[in-house]
Amino acid sequence: MERLAAGPRWQDSGHVFVTELGLPLPPGVASRTFTALVKSSGLPTISLHGLRHTYITVGLLELGLPTSIISKRVGHANEAITLMMYAEWLPRHDQQAAVKVAALVVPKGF
């Protein structure tokens, strides 16, 4: 909508958060705006960067989405970066994974 309103003055910067003319927002503006919106919504407090971590953690550990998909969605250069950064949370789910796999291969009541 802003792009149409700006007409020929629009500058396609390729950024996600831009001014009404398409220029990148000054540092911190998106985070402060997000924080204010969360606060006014009554939702639990979380930063914009915290939301990114939540997305990755839920995607990987709760939904079991492929690392390749999560890695691409968040702009990591490769899956190894995603796994390296979030590996500390993986051990928490190790026992749960073992139980699920065992349920598939061990007869019930064994």
Residue-wise pLDDT for 95-108, tens only, equals 777 888 888 898 77
Count of structural domains within the chain: 2
Mean pLDDT, the chain, integer: 88
Above 80 in pLDDT, residue 94? no
Same domain, 28 and 72: no
Same domain, 35 and 56: no
Query: For 20-54, what is each residue's pLDDT tens digit?
Result: 999 999 989 999 999 999 999 999 999 988 999 89
Above 70 in pLDDT, residue 68? yes
Can you give the pTM of this predicted structure?
0.62
Same domain, 96 and 51: yes
Whether the CB-CB separation of 12 and 22 falls below 8 Å is answered with yes
- Residues 34, 35, 40, 45, CA torsion sign: positive
Short-list 49, 10, 57, 43, CA closest to 27: 49
Segments forming the whole domain that contains residue 31: 1-43
Q: What is the pLDDT of residue 97?
A: 77
Same domain, 31 and 68: no
Short-list 108, 65, 110, CA closest to 86: 65
Tokens encoding 90 = 């993986």
